[in-house]
Structure 1
């Protein structure tokens, strides 16, 4: 396959997922810029490592080995598809942590095992599984709504910010974060749910540099049984008067 064909394939899939080139760079390589994609466009062949990371981020197959026949490829695809329950859809998950406090760079943005969601629920929410992504939450500034270690489902189609909605974003320094966005004249506010955390202003050109990954549509919280402790309480004094009836 020629370099220009690789570029055309990447671009077609990127646009299908409604990702910018910078967002793809962040998800695939932890780089908040389009330099890798632009280099491919200019005819520079990407390394196998970078190409594999890009394919993983886009949900494309990266294969190196003996040439496979069409029948063999189709058989492999059918076999993989038969393992997927018909009433569930699998959404891609990356090990990017959306910071609920100070930003994190997402430098380890590799693909993890997908997360299954019921198809009827996704249809009810009008979500397209292939245009969603699951990420983790890091920090406490979005408590009590989101906690450190939670998983969140983002709708990648929702990239035009609406006032008061919560979004996963790539901030101006390349940090991946999750915040409630409030729109103001010529800018926006990144607001936390935790009242102890400050609201951050992105004004003018800085506001334009904030890239929306997607809007929050679901969150999941897990509990560690070993860390759960009972709060000791003093026995409560009874305030009821009992009349005992004794057998004769």
Structure 2
């Protein structure tokens, strides 16, 4: 996006078009005040420019950088311009990751979890799905009870705003003994069912007070799987079929 000689409202309008979204959707997903963006881009005389603090929040929600200050020095290699590096940085949002394993089987404690390097997600992807980086967390999966959907070692992105249970959705939870787990939750009268995707694993019941002690970390928004090629068994090669050459008369 070329920012030179563009007004603030034009930059915002162009960015919305570039992301394929609208002002209302971004206001909702980023928890901005009502009409925070719409009041900036409206074409009539009621259009208003925001204060610096509000302009900063709008830019952050759209993956833009608002900078006021002296020129910044650049030590980047010649083959990557500083402008391009800023563009690349603006394209991604960084989500906190902790060394917590959400057990797909018996739970593991998440106490004293250490923060790891954040995980980058494309901002436009998150905006399209109504996700806010600051309201999400990345953890890993341990165990096989959620296979074939989630595998041991997978990364999962949890939306921490989604703490009200919706029947049949997958959530990261802190279970009754303080264990961190990931399960599909079903609502029943005065309780919860913690279901696994693996049919060999049993469904667990949390009833009455136990159900109230289950704390929701967030709902599953994304998962990532990596393949360990060193553990893959080579497929047996199919013998090459012999062919017969036909000569047609």
State whether TM-score is above 0.5. yes
The answer to whether 1:244 aligns with 2:246 is: yes
Name which of 163, 167, 178 aligns with 1:163.
Answer: 167
Partner SS, residue 146 of structure 1: coil
- Structure 1 residue 107, shift from structure 2 partner: 3.3
- Structure 1 residue 221, shift from structure 2 partner: 0.4
The answer to whether 1:151 aligns with 2:190 is: no
Q: How many residues align?
A: 167
Partner SS, residue 114 of structure 1: strand
Q: Which runs of 4+ in 1 moved over 4 A?
A: 81-84
From the two aligned structures, give the one with the greater helix fraction.
1
> Could you say which residue in structure 1 is the equivalent of 2:97?
93
Partner SS, residue 85 of structure 1: helix
Q: Distance in 1 between matches of 2:244 and 2:92?
A: 56
> Comparing both chains, which one has the higher relative contact order based on Cα–Cα distances under 8 Å and sequence gaps of 6 or more?
1
- With the length of structure 2 as denominator, give the TM-score of the two structures: 0.62
Distance 1:236 1:197, change over 3 A: farther
Q: Distance in 1 between matches of 2:245 and 2:124?
A: 56
Q: Any residues of structure 2 matched to 1:105-116 within 5 Å, and which? A: 105-116=109-120
Gapped regions of structure 1 (runs ≥ 5): 1-70, 72-80
Name which of 123, 127, 131 aligns with 2:131.
Answer: 127
Q: Distance in 2 between matches of 1:177 and 1:203?
A: 17
- With the length of structure 1 as denominator, give the TM-score of the two structures: 0.62
> Could you say which residue in structure 2 is the equivalent of 1:15?
none
Partner SS, residue 230 of structure 2: helix
Partner SS, residue 89 of structure 1: strand
